Amino acid sequence: MAAAITTLQGTLAGKILTDTAVSNSVVANPTSGAATIYHIEFDNTANSSVTYLKMYEATSVTLGTTEPALVIKAAASTKEYVSVPMGLLMSVGASYVATTTASNSAGSPAAPSNACKLTFLYS
């Protein structure tokens, strides 16, 4: 499934991005520009090994060259939650990939056995 965006009404006045098929292919700039991220849920429950969510402050990512702005390590069969009350500004755009490769090596990173799920709240 491609990333889906939901607009929130009211005092939050933000958006929620939900992607149910995060793997080792970069999802480039699903926010269509700058984003301030306030909460991240990274779901690795479908995998029996550690998986890393790598987020980039970039609209285009060259794996092995572009350094991630944030790396979240999810243990096997777990979900990780990260809250950033003041917000994590991705001034250019936000892109991401999930991999079992901890390092920022060139080429296609190792894919998790099963796709992960990602949800984040941003404005």
- Structural domains in the chain, sorted by start: 4-122 (2.60.120)
**pTM confidence score:** 0.89
| Burial class, 118, CB count within 10 angstroms (exposed 0-12 / middle 13-18 / buried 19+) | buried
pLDDT tens across 7-42, in order? 776 666 689 999 999 999 999 999 999 999 999 999
Residue 75's CB is within 10 A of a number of other CB atoms, namely 12
